[in-house]
Amino acid sequence: MIWKIAFAISPKPWIEGTVIAAFALALASAPASAQEQEELEAEPVIVTATRTEEDISDVPASITVIEQDDIQLGRQTLGMSEPLRGVPGIFVQNQENFSGDLRMSIRGFGARGRFGIQGIKILVDGIPLTSPDGQTNVDSIDMGVMDRIEVLRGPSSALYGVAAGGVVSLTTEAPPVDPLIEGRITSGSFGFLKEQLKFGRSDGHGGGVIFNVTNMEYDGFREHSSTRARIIFGKIIHRLSETSELTLLFNHYDSPLAQDPQGLTKDQVKKDREQARPDGFFNGAVTQDTGEEVVDAQTALIYKKELEEDLLTLSYYKTLRKFTGRINPRVVEFDRDVTGGGIQYDMAGELMGRDNLLILGIDFQDQNDRRRNFGNESGAHGDLSLNQIEEATALGIFVNEKIAVTEQVGLSVGLRNDQIELSANDNFIGDGSDDSGSRTFSHTSYSLGVIYHAAAAANIYANVGQAFEVPTLTQLDNPSGGGGFNPDLDPQVANSIEVGVKGSHNASLTYDAAVFQIIATDEIVVFQDPDQGNIDFYRNAGETERTGFEAALRYRFSPMLALSFSYTQMTSEYTDFQTSEVDDGDLTVTDFSGNTIPGLPENQAYFEVAYNHPAGYYVIPEAIYVGEIQADDANSEKAGAYTVINLRTGFLTEFDNWPFSLFAGINNVTDEEYNQNIRVNDFGGRYFEPAPPMNIYIGISLGYLAAQ
């Protein structure tokens, strides 16, 4: 149905013909009998996002695994949104605005953030990118070196602390068995250019090195949306003994330019989709030179020691971030220093004659920000308005028990206590007051899950859990002005229940489906005060409710042809939310109860056909459907539903020891007009950030593979 709608509105018949031809070619390759399908052998899928290695069929929760081909093969690798589009329950926005960073929500958590990701734990090789207050910036992640992504959906605070929505765990490529050097260049519409150089080799003893440098330039579809960035990544694995290893990770991200075209009103979008926010009630994006410059560097050490059946893991990491951001009407600068680490001990054995795994651990993070705010004088620094040292410290102690109750029933129980302290030391004396202060949050989260292996192809599970989310340092900005923290903003707590089924048949069919309900109290909501300009502040809603259904299916007709489909339906609403304002002594109460939570579509669907010929060429069309999205708490404005079709194709071969790849893609094949981001509750109705029209890219890679 999605494809029929998309083709009906397409203004480019020749592109439609290309896509239809790709489907016809794929369908023609389907096997004539079931015998070929039976020759496919199923392999167990091992996941680690649950803090231990286990078969995905044993996890009593919704979890999706994305392998390297789905991450990199024929992709533009513009960002994380490309491989995540097919995961049910997840909604990704803002891929085109590198100043605002990628915005991601899982089951509705994370949608409130104006920039970056909140309420979702993001890990790379087991090391958190998420700060102690729950904020994550993923601009430093290079998809060109990722091997796997695991998405754990649903409240996960019992595992990771501040993770109300879930967990996204990324794993970088392992050192190749044979020494490899590879270069890749991709060029595309709107001044896109990405250059990548990768080197790796194994030492033959389970260790090795992989090193990657990426440079990207992108002018963007809209005015004032250019970005420039360079990422340097390295991983060194050294086997200390047969039972222990040490891994060194380092990542350096430097973006000297990331412009922000900002949001438009609906009328402005109709007039000119390419424009940046024009001058009006406030100065526009070009006048204020809105955007950011970022330098981010992280180094990490991971030590693992096998003790018979047990495993000890120690980790330590250091992150330095230097940030300058220009918004209306101020310039924000901070220098960030984050130190973190953890200890985890996995004890495997038997309990009352049953297989049992007990996990004990401690996580620690300390973040120190030197933050300064200035007036924005046409992009230049104006008068100093804030100068304070902000610190966030988080300590989490957790225990998780996994036991096989019977041969068919597994039980998982988790408990975690988190202590988070946020403090501000006001060094700005120009306003005549000392706004220093602190906020301390303490919460104990739990999870309980059970899974029943009803048959080889059917695993039924249920889980309940509680998660929490504290305000970030940015969200604690005081609406009354000055420094310090907002004393009225509280953490949000979410209680969840989920029932699902998942399974596989040989290697031809995998599927999962789940229904869930999440009730959150004191949900943190963004708003803007017109008396203080284009500045975000936050407040609590009394109660919200999310009820949803998620399903995903992948069917492999043959080794050459596979179909993937996912669908998400989620109803999200404010069940109790009133605000009050006093103007000239008059009290005004606004009741948003019963309204849909903005920034979230009620329906999403994804459809993909992947055809891979043994000769090396492949054709992969995909369709993405997103339903209507409310733009504000009052539900007075919304973004329309849309269907986007993308097509990627390429050719892989090897000349002696020279791997070669040529690939190309068309994004937004049918030239659909839609919004790639909704700026929830933006003052003046500037909610919409238009997405690019049809655009193309083409790339080539060449490597040299030396035998050991």
Q: How far apart are CA 485 and CA 470, in angstroms?
A: 13
Q: Which strand (E) or helix (H) includes residue 326?
A: strand 310-326
Q: How far apart are CA 480 and CA 66, in angstroms?
A: 45
Coil vs helix vs strand at 338 = strand
Q: Which strand (E) or helix (H) includes residue 160?
A: helix 157-160
* 3-state DSSP helix/strand/coil % of the chain, to nearest 5: 10, 60, 35
The CA-based angle 329-332-338, given to 5 degrees, is: 155
Q: Where are the domains of the chain?
A: 2-705
8-state DSSP, 16: H
Q: Which residue has the tokens 């009593």?
A: 60
Computed from CA positions of residues 469, 474, 476, 480, in that sequence, does the dihedral angle turn out positive or negative? Answer: negative
How high is the pLDDT of residue 628?
A: 97
Q: How far apart are CA 381 and CA 362, in angstroms?
A: 42
Going from the first residue of the chain to its last (708 residues), give the mean pLDDT of each consecutive group of 10, the final group possibly shorter.
32 37 40 43 85 95 96 94 96 90 90 77 95 88 96 93 92 94 98 97 93 97 97 98 97 97 96 94 88 97 95 98 91 96 95 91 96 92 92 96 95 96 85 80 95 93 93 76 74 94 91 96 78 68 93 96 98 90 69 93 97 96 98 94 98 94 98 95 91 98 88
Rg (the chain; Cα; Å) = 25
Coil vs helix vs strand at 157 = helix
- pTM assigned to the model: 0.91
Q: Which residue has the tokens 């046409």?
A: 378
> How far apart, in Å, do the first and last CA atoms of the chain sit?
52
Q: How far apart are CA 441 and CA 439, in angstroms?
A: 7
Q: Which residue has the tokens 């975690």?
A: 416
8-state DSSP, 648: E
Question: Which structure tokens are listed for 169?
Answer: 């765990």
How high is the pLDDT of residue 471?
A: 85
How high is the pLDDT of residue 113?
A: 66
Q: How far apart are CA 302 and CA 385, in angstroms?
A: 41
Q: What's the topology of domain 2-705?
A: Maltoporin; Chain A (2.40.170)
How high is the pLDDT of residue 5?
A: 31
Given a contact cutoff of 8 angstroms between Cβ atoms, the answer to whether 102 and 78 are in contact is: no
Q: In the structure, how many helices (H) and strands (E) does the chain have?
A: 8, 39
Given a contact cutoff of 8 angstroms between Cβ atoms, the answer to whether 412 and 402 are in contact is: yes
Question: Which structure tokens are listed for 509?
Answer: 């069919």
Q: In sequence order, what are the beta bridge partners of 541?
A: 523
Question: Which structure tokens are listed for 320?
Answer: 């330095």
By the 10 Å C-beta count (0-12 exposed, 13-18 middle, 19+ buried), 205 is classed as exposed
How high is the pLDDT of residue 8?
A: 33
DSSP 200-215: EEE-SSS-EEEEEEEE
